[in-house]
Structure 1
Amino acid sequence: MQTQTQQANAKAYGEVLESGAVRFERLLPGPIERVWAYLVEDGKRASWFCGGKTEARAGGQIELFFKHSRITDETPPESHRQMNDEGSLMTGTVTVYEPPHRLAFTWAGMGDPDSDVEIELTPMGQQVRLVLIHRRLATKSRTAMVSSGWHLHLGLLEDQLLGQKPRPFWSAHEPLMAEYAQRQRDAAL
């Protein structure tokens, strides 16, 4: 049975801040140091998002190695099969490294221009508020794709922190991406 926090997090859509920027907020089980470890440690981050090393300093490199077969046993759509099965490496530069509160980095390899990700953690009693902002997304379609991705990946992070079976990824990705695209169209009206 889902807690109220899990139910709220599952329904919490990313909010478009401005053209090419989306913001997510989640309440996660703490402590903050544990959530931080899932952001920066290769093996832990690979269990919900992507693997790769993070140099623990501003100006360091961050590797984003996506191999979704590590996070789901669902069959991927053909368009994502190579990334799912073989993996895909993207990189970035750490711009803020303030453990265990703030991590920010550029993200290269998603198209032109590079985008920026900022994650802030704040203790809230036994829980941790995570705020993630992804900026400089070049197109509306990229914003919808990234929004659905973060939505799903943050759900998987919550599952990892709760020690429960990961929720579906691929079967939810396309419908959620279409929903984010529609939300953008509705907001433009």
Structure 2
Amino acid sequence: MPIRSDAERRWVELEFVVPGTPEQVWRAIATGPGISAWFAPTTAEERVGGKIEFTFSAGVTSSGTITAWEPPTRLAYEEHGWSGNAPPLASEFVISSRSGDRCVVRLVHSLFSTSDSWDDEIEGFESGWPGFFQVLRLYLRHFADQNAAATGAMSAYPGTHAEAWKQLATALGVFGPNVGERRSAPAGAPPLAGTIEHVRQSDETCEVLLRLDQPAQGIALIGSYRWEDKARVAASLFFYGDRATEIAAEHEPRWRAWLEARFPANAAQKANA
């Protein structure tokens, strides 16, 4: 959707349908364990005025203050300093129930500025969420309320987005994917095998979503993304069950080492020099 604006702010809206009751969906999008099951490791103080903090690849964190806490229908929080000297960013999730144990979730990102200087960042929110929404759908359909742990890795690629995707997908055995196929990573890659559940390919983003059976029950989101005139590659993995935390801790260093070896950060830095 296009960026909207008024006299105080600029914003984007996204709306998506997920399986589950309002209570199940609320636990998934408004609690630390729930968000950690499909987005990024998260802690949340479940109250107005409480802190919410997301931890991304390479230990990068973003934190905010919860401004609305209305179970099971509405969560809002506001982040300051989320990108250099950017103005405050407000995020709001609203859950509406539908028939057949489904819910519609409406997400609004609002930037308190009338300047278009941050429009690229706002558009980045809009293009970045759909892959994780697919993870959320799969989580609610197959793993809802199970113990969960997230891990993954990200790196930069100095070439084009198309080149980055071909290298990443080929190395992990998911190039040329079709929904319903079972794929597995070749020797030399981290353990990865499962059924392809979703494919997204465009000039901006290429992603494959797998429901894993190896190295454990879970979900993997493998993707490359256009980043300025270069690209980024990323693997986000979510494990479920009693040993989820142990499995995530075991595999995180493997993924970081493998991705850094295939896509070294210093290569991208040299390309920027």
When normalised by structure 2's length, the TM-score is 0.48
Q: Within the alignment, does 1:55 sit opposite 2:42 as a pair?
A: no
Work out the percentage of aligned pairs sharing the same amino acid.
Answer: 26
State the Cα distance separating 1:15 from its structure 2 match: 4.7
Q: How far, CA to CA, are the matches of 1:100 and 1:45 in structure 2?
A: 15
State the Cα deviation string for residues 52-107 of structure 1 (Å, max 9, x = none). 221111111111122xxxxxxxxxxxxxxxx2xx3311110000000010000012
The residue aligned with 2:108 is: 133
Q: Within the alignment, does 1:17 sit opposite 2:17 as a pair?
A: no
SS of 1:53 mapped into structure 2:
strand
The residue aligned with 2:91 is: 117
Give 4+ residue runs of structure 1 displaced > 6 Å after superposition.
none
Q: How far, CA to CA, are the matches of 2:39 and 2:127 in structure 1?
A: 13
Q: 2:80 aligns with which of 85, 95, 108?
A: 108
Q: Please tell me whether the aligned partners of residues 155 and 167 of structure 1 are also in contact (alpha carbons under 8 angstroms).
A: no
State the Cα deviation string for residues 123-164 of structure 1 (Å, max 9, x = none). 112211100000107512101211112222222211211227
Structure number with bigger Rg:
2
Aligned alpha-carbon RMSD (Å):
2.3
When normalised by structure 1's length, the TM-score is 0.68
AA partner of residue 152 (structure 1): G
Q: How far, CA to CA, are the matches of 1:121 and 1:38 in structure 2?
A: 11
Q: How far, CA to CA, are the matches of 1:100 and 1:115 in structure 2?
A: 23
Change (3 A) 1:135 1:37: same
AA partner of residue 174 (structure 1): R
The residue aligned with 1:94 is: 66
State the Cα deviation string for residues 21-56 of structure 1 (Å, max 9, x = none). 110111110111111111123233122212222111
The alignment of Structure 1 onto Structure 2 pairs a total of residues equal to 144
AA partner of residue 115 (structure 1): L
- Identify the structure with bigger relative contact order (alpha carbons < 8 Å, sequence gap 6+): 1
The residue aligned with 2:132 is: 153
Q: How far, CA to CA, are the matches of 1:167 and 1:174 in structure 2?
A: 20
Q: Which has the higher strand share?
A: 2
AA partner of residue 133 (structure 2): L
Q: Please tell me whether the aligned partners of residues 15 and 24 of structure 1 are also in contact (alpha carbons under 8 angstroms).
A: no
The residue aligned with 1:41 is: 31
SS of 1:64 mapped into structure 2:
strand
The residue aligned with 2:22 is: 32
